[in-house]
Every structure is written in C-alpha cells, then in structure tokens.
Amino acid sequence: DMDLGAITTRSAFHAKPHGLTLQYGTAGFRTKAENLDHIMFRMGLLAVLRSKQTKSTIGVMVTASHNPEEENGVKLIDPLGEMLAPSWEEHATRLADAEEQDMQRVLIDISEKEAVDLQQDAFIVIGRDTRPSSEKLSQSVIDGVTVIGGQFHDYGFFKKTPLHYMVYCRNTGGQYGKATIEGYYQKLSKAFVELTRQASCSGDGYRSLKVDCANGIGALKLREMEHYFSQGLSVQLFNDGTTGKLNHLCGADFVKSNQQPPQGMEMKSNERCCSFDGDADRIVYYYYDTDGHFHLIDGDKMATLISGFLKELLSEIGESLNIGVVQTAYANGSSTRYLEEVMKVPVSCTQTGVKHLHHKAQEFDIGVYFEANGHGTVLFSKAVEMKIKELAEELEEKKRKAAKILENIIDLFNQAAGDAISDMLAIEAILALKGLTVQQWDAIYTDLPNRQLKVKVADRRVISTTDAERQAVTPPGLQEAINDLVKKYQLSRAFVRPSGTEDVVRVYAEADSQESADHLAHEVSLAVF
C-alpha cells in the first residue's frame, strides 16, 4: 500500500509555491527551473502509479529541450516509448496543482479511477539533459519514486533522447535491441555503415558533415558513438557545450525560426551543415549557396526526401505497402503540394506535438512523420518488418538488394521517438545512396516564404483551435479577421495557436514573397489582441 503519511512528510520538503498552477502541455511541464521542485517530486509519485497500473517500466525525463537554460521541465514516457496517455496527462495536472493538504486525496483518487494495483512492483527509468538545474531536479523525481515504493534506474545526463528507446526495450523483452546505450549506438551505426557500403559504388564514398550541437547533449552523444560510424561519415562538431550556453544563438530552433546559421560555426559555400536542438531530438539542415544565400532544409524536406526514397524501394520490391506522410499546420504549403500532387503520397495533418504525429503515423504500413521544426521519424508496421525480412532472402537480385536496404533503414530509424542522430544518419545514408548533393536535395521543391511570430497576451487560453490548429474557434471573430487578411495576398495561408511550451500565442503566415509573408504575419498578430 501507499504510505500516505511518509508521502506527506516528504512532500513538505518539496513545497509547492503558493498560487502556482501549471499544466501538463505538449511536452510535459515547463517553466522556470526554480518553480519545478514540487512538480518533479509529484511526477515521481505519478510515474510509480502509472508503472503499477501498466505493469511496465515508465520513463521520466527532466528537460526543457530548446527553451532557455533557466527553464526546465519534465515529461513521462509510457511503456512503448510513447508520450503519456491523455487521461494521465490530466492526472498529472491535477496532482501538480493540488495544495499540500489535498495531495493524499488526489493520489487515492487517481489510483481508484485507474484501478491501480498498489501491490504491483514499479520500475522507473530517469534521464536528464545538461542544464545546470537538471541534476537536482532529477533527485526530486527520485525522492518521489522511492517514497511511494518504486524502484528506479538513473541513466544520468548524457542519455536522454534514447530514454524512449530504453523504456521500449525494457518493456518488450529486449527483442528490439539491447537495452543499453551502447546497444543503441551500435545498432544505428551498423545499419548506417552497411548502407554507406551499399552506396559506395555510386556515391563519392567518403562523406563529412558539420554539426551544430546547440551546446547540448548531442555533442556528448556524438563523441561517444562517432567511432562506430566513422567509416561512413566524419562529423565536425560546433557549439559542443565547452564554452557556449545551451540553445543560445544556435541550435535547430534558432536556425529554423530565424532562418539564419548558428553562431560559432564556420561555413563554406555548398557545405552540408546541420543543427540539433539542445536535447538532440530535432535536426535541420542548411547550406550557403555560391551567391552567399542561406538555404534552410527543414523537417518537411526531410520527410519528402525520405518518403520519396522509401517509395522507390517499395516499387523495386514490387509490394503495394501503403506509405503516408504526417505533418502539422506548420508544414510549408509547397511540401504538402509536392507530396500530394507530384509524389502522390497521402498526407495527413495533426496538431503540433510528437505524440499526435506519432499516433497518426501508426495508421500506415510505413508512416513518415516530421514537424517542420525537425522533430520526426519513420514508423514501420510489424507486418512490413516481417515482409522485408522475407524479401531480403529473395532470389531475384534487384528485389533482394532493395529489401536489404530497407532492412537497414528500418534499423536506422528510432521507432520509439525521433532522435536527431538517427535522423541524421538516415538522411546521410539516403543522400549517399541516391548520389544527391545538398543543393539537389534542396531543389526538390521551393519553400513558400513564411514567417513565424510570437505574441504576448494576457491569457493565451482564450484562443482555441480546430482542424489540426488551422482554424481558430475562439475568440469570436478572430478566424474571420484572419480570413480577410489572408485574402489580400497570393498563395497565402495563416493561423494562430496558443503555445504549449511558452506563455505566448504563435502566429504563422506564408505567401508568395517574403515581404508578403512578413506583412501577413504582422497583421495577424495585431488581430490576436
């Protein structure tokens, strides 16, 4: 049983700041690190209840990804490496908001509602990012886990992104690869090296890439695993955390939202470069052309490259497996048009946040999902995995070759959640196999000029949306105002949505010229007030 007395006593050491209310949002809880201690303790408690209920290992990750260094956050990872189930997000919010004297009641209530077997063992795995506040906060998680009788393993700071993968492996009996960091790195690298070997007859063989690590975890991870894949790719790291501040003027989020290169990186024209975000689950590519123009290659173009490549392989093996791409409202209009009209790939649109895309992608035999900001991966159904294994033994040479490539591609994509390194290796392998330069990849289609803005408002929750966030429902009149503004421009589109990670409203606009996109975004942001 739960020792409620002990929980209450411990909880006093993790007191909730008075009047603070927080919501479990798109990426868990996020706010200033100094306001998170009680949240961490309570999420430790909640993770144990979830573990008992699912009879599985649950993950707790302490990170605020691309947010400023002073902020932090926490999210729970469900048994198959997925984001926490929605009903439990509500429990998380309730538990976080409970005043000290109500905690016991809320805990009992959650246990009863979810029919948690309190006799059941619980096991929690914990990971954290490199923020200065993360270590102490993860101690508070552990405090919560242990006081309610859970066991745990702390993977420490350099092992964050694969935490999804670790949770998945522990719960699927290791059939998906060894549940160690080492095993994960090796599996990815082996698949990558085999693919580049298959490519070396066509491509230029040796490849190199510049990587901006946002002064975050990606640098540590790359340094650890580099030697496993160095036969196929040499990486040169920038913003590796030795001097700069996390996500400050660098990283995938900075590059994508400012549409400019990170500071601290030396770029020559036509050199292929990429940026991770601080926790290394996003990646964007870019280069300077010979005229000195900066070209960004975002998640949409990665999805296009990958799905095009997979479609070619499928036609070579002659299987009619269905492949689909999942995007969000932020996807550039040109990418959606290209995928649907030229590549004839079905495209779905979901709300922002990996869990929504992930869920939708599971509906396809092969589901490619990417947010424009560079979060994404590819999911393969069990049936596809089995079919491909069979075909890899096939006698006919062409089919067998294609199936072998697919086998490695399946190994390369992290099926539990996107990971910048796994995506990077997959992209590098595909470029090598297809013999494409970064310019040729970029030229698949031309992005519509676009602009993102954030607007501070008194209460961002007055804005609610529908149709995968493309239409505003409230406040009344807002959508009509946006419609009228959009009509003034060519090839235009705009939407607003409340952020799930910051106290702002986000505005997105695209149009036929940068000037029009900027104007439209500005006008829409005025309409939000």
Q: Which stretch binds ligand 16G (CB under 6 A): 16-24, 111-119, 265-273, 349-357?
A: 349-357
| Residue 505: strand, helix, or coil | strand
Is 428 a binder of ligand 16G (CB under 6 A)? no
Catalytic one of 11, 51, 56, 65: 65
Is 65 noted as a catalytic residue in this protein? yes
Is 500 a binder of ligand 16G (CB under 6 A)? yes
Is 507 a binder of ligand 16G (CB under 6 A)? no
Integer Rg of the chain from CA:
23
Q: Is the Cβ of residue 282 or residue 493 nearer to Zn ion in the bound state?
A: 282
Helices and strands (H, E) in the chain, number of each type? 18, 19
Q: Which stretch binds ligand 16G (CB under 6 A): 46-54, 114-122, 240-248, 496-504?
A: 496-504
β-pairing, 323-328 with 347-350?
A: parallel
Start-to-end C-alpha separation, the chain? 51
Q: Is the Cβ of residue 93 or residue 499 nearer to ligand 16G in the bound state?
A: 499
Smallest separation, CB 290 to Zn ion (Å): 32
371 is an annotated ligand-binding site residue: yes
183 is an annotated ligand-binding site residue: no
Q: Is the Cβ of residue 104 or residue 499 nearer to ligand 16G in the bound state?
A: 499
Q: What residues line the site for Zn ion (CB under 5 A)?
A: 65, 277, 279, 281-282
Smallest separation, CB 316 to Zn ion (Å): 35
Q: Exactly one of 501, 509, 516, 517 binds ligand 16G (CB under 6 A); which one?
A: 501
Classify residue 34 as exposed, middle or buried by CB count within 10 Å of its CB (0-12, 13-18, 19+). exposed
277 is an annotated ligand-binding site residue: yes
Smallest separation, CB 469 to ligand 16G (Å): 10
Is 27 a binder of ligand 16G (CB under 6 A)? yes
Is 187 a binder of ligand 16G (CB under 6 A)? no
The 3-class SS string of 51-105 reads HHHHCCEEEEEECCCCCCCCEEEEEEECCCCCECCHHHHHHHHHHHHCCHHHHHH
Tokens of 152: 């745990």
Of 406, 489, 500, 410, whose CA–CA distance to 451 is shortest?
A: 489
Is 353 a binder of ligand 16G (CB under 6 A)? yes
| AA identity, residue 103 | M
Is 352 a binder of ligand 16G (CB under 6 A)? yes
Q: Using the structure block, give the residue that is written with the tokens 């699927």.
A: 172
Neighbouring-strand partners of residue 32: 71
Smallest separation, CB 302 to ligand 16G (Å): 14
Is 375 a binder of ligand 16G (CB under 6 A)? yes
134 is an annotated ligand-binding site residue: no
350 is an annotated ligand-binding site residue: no
Q: Which stretch binds ligand 16G (CB under 6 A): 212-220, 223-231, 369-377, 460-468?
A: 369-377
CA-to-CA distance for 437 and 445, rounded, in angstroms? 14
Q: Exactly one of 502, 514, 518, 522 binds ligand 16G (CB under 6 A); which one?
A: 502
Is 422 a binder of ligand 16G (CB under 6 A)? no
CA-to-CA distance for 239 and 241, rounded, in angstroms? 6
498 is an annotated ligand-binding site residue: yes
Q: What is the DSSP string of 419-471?
A: -HHHHHHHHHHHHHHHT--HHHHHTTS-PPPEEEEEE--S-GGG-EEETTTTE
Binding mask 450-489 for ligand 16G (x = CB under 6 A): ----------------------------------------
Is 89 a binder of ligand 16G (CB under 6 A)? no
Classify residue 276 as exposed, middle or buried by CB count within 10 Å of its CB (0-12, 13-18, 19+). buried
Q: Exactly one of 114, 499, 514, 522 binds ligand 16G (CB under 6 A); which one?
A: 499
| AA identity, residue 352 | T
CA-to-CA distance for 527 and 485, rounded, in angstroms? 9
Is 26 a binder of ligand 16G (CB under 6 A)? yes
Q: Is the Cβ of residue 7 or residue 27 nearer to ligand 16G in the bound state?
A: 27
CB 165 within 8 A of CB 184: yes
Active site residues: 65
* Residues at the site binding ligand 16G, with contacts judged by CB under 6 A: 26-27, 65, 352-355, 371, 373, 375, 499-502, 506
Q: Binding-site residues, please?
A: 65, 277, 279, 281, 371-373, 497-501, 506
